[in-house]
């Protein structure tokens, strides 16, 4: 099941955490946040309300300050949304809340995925935890 919503709160953290709490109160388990960190040109354009060409121009340095974050896929097909939003804010092309939202979602998503894996694969997760302690 996928739930999509907007939430207003004092901070991004408060908005995300209260949303998760509300979903859990409704009887559902939250295992991940859909947004995700890996983005292509189309996803960046959609999230920023821009055209794919506008994003491509940023990537290619045609507009903006240049030095767009490196692709995480090697062929300029996927980027880290956290890195892109940090760059956009530093370049004055986005409000700080855009990067803060990406950061919070990435951290919360990692925690949710970790706990889901612990429930599904307890022995494996214990072995992994032993290795990284």
**Residue 35 confidence (pLDDT):** 65
On the 0-12 / 13-18 / 19+ scale of CB atoms within 10 A, 20 is middle
Task: Look at residues 68, 33, 73 and name the one whose alpha carbon lies nearest to residue 54.
Answer: 68
In this predicted structure, the answer to whether residue 2 has a pLDDT above a threshold of 80 is no
Residue 55 belongs to a domain:
yes
Q: Kindly give the interhelix angle for 81-90 and 41-48, rounded to the nearest 10 degrees.
A: 50
In a domain, 18, yes or no: no
pLDDT for residue 60 is more than 70: yes
CB atoms within 10 A of CB 58: 23
Evaluate whether residue 25 is within a structural domain.
Answer: no
In a domain, 75, yes or no: yes
7 vs 57: which has the higher pLDDT? 57
Number of domains within the chain? 1
pLDDT bin (cut points 50, 70, 90) of residue 92 is very high
Q: With respect to residue 74, please indicate whether it lies within any of the assigned structural domains.
A: yes
Residues 6+ apart with CB under 8 A from 120: none
Range of the domain at 78: 36-132
- pLDDT mean across residues, the chain: 92
């Amino acid at each position: 099941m996928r739930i999509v919503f907007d939430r207003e709160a004092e901070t991004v953290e408060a908005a995300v955490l209260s949303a998760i709490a509300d979903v859990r109160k409704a009887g559902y388990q939250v295992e991940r946040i859909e947004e995700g960190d890996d983005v292509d040109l189309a996803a960046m354009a959609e999230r920023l309300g821009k055209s794919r060409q506008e994003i491509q121009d940023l990537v290619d340095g045609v507009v903006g300050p240049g030095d767009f974050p490196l692709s995480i896929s090697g062929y300029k097909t996927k980027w880290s949304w956290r890195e892109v939003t940090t760059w956009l804010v530093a370049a004055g092309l986005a409000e700080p809340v855009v990067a803060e939202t990406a950061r919070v979602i990435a951290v919360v998503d990692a925690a949710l995925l970790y706990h889901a894996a612990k429930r599904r694969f307890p022995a494996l997760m214990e072995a992994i935890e032993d290795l990284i302690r």
